[in-house]
Amino acid sequence: MSQLIVHGGMRVLTSAQLAESYHTNAKIINRNFGRNQDQFVEGEHYFQLTGESLKAFKAERPDDASLKFASSLNLWTEKGAWLHSSFLKSKRAKEAFATLVNSYYSILKVPPHQTMQQGQAPLAITLEDYEQLASRVTTLEDMLKQQITLHSGEQSRLRAAVGERVHSLAKDKGARPALFRAIYTAIKERYQVGSYRDVKQHELQDALLFVAKWGGETS
């Protein structure tokens, strides 16, 4: 995103900016809007610029090639961004939306005397402000990655590794239940979690290596 935009007293994103945040393209954003238009409420989920308001918006961004042939333009509010993240149906989009909420929509609030009326040209903050925000976004993304736990597929990988290790240590089926309890206890203690499901994604490879080398110690 090259600029931050306020319209109707709310911080908003163009389709191109939203697509960039969600690692997709504006065509998909516009397609999902077209297919689900009945779920979007203008003024709540988006603002649509046409006529003079669109002309003023373009005039402030003469170098933005994506606006050149646009006859109308949608600006997405936080609620609109949330709907789009649900239509994209990917974990990456959900994480990107969480980042947008924390680092774009919910900070740098517009003072009441700066609230814009419907139809006025949107405002943009400076590039310096954006660069400071971009740094915050990177920090928040890194923090978010550190907190994400295993998804169902990764949980299955860890369970499979546990099962393989237990079976390699105990040919006698009767001895396996105690080993299963012991290895899951060892995982919880090593990663300080209440369940193996709470192991963090960035710890998965370490957890798989730990399981593969576990020696079968039982209390």
* Structural domain containing residue 166: 152-213
Report the alpha-carbon distance of residue 219 to residue 202 in Å, rounded: 29
Rounded Cα distance, 142 and 136, in Å: 10
Whether 103 is covered by a domain: the verdict is: yes
Q: Considering the domain boundaries, does residue 177 fall inside one?
A: yes
CA 217 to chain centre: 40
The reply to whether 207 falls in a domain is yes
Q: Provide the number of structural domains found in the chain.
A: 2
Per-residue pLDDT, 140: 65
- Residue-level pLDDT at 5: 82
So what's the pLDDT on residue 8?
Answer: 77
Residues 194 and 115 in one domain: no
Counting as low any pLDDT under 70, the low residues of the chain are 1-3, 94, 97, 99, 101-145, 219
Pair 113, 191 in one domain = no
Provide the whole-model pTM: 0.45
Cα-based torsion angle of the residue sequence 37, 43, 44, 48 in order, rounded to the nearest 10 degrees:
50
Residue 82's pLDDT is what?
81
Helix (H, G, I), strand (E, B) or coil at 121: coil
Has residue 73 been placed in a domain? yes
pLDDT at 208: 96
Q: What is the pLDDT of residue 176?
A: 93
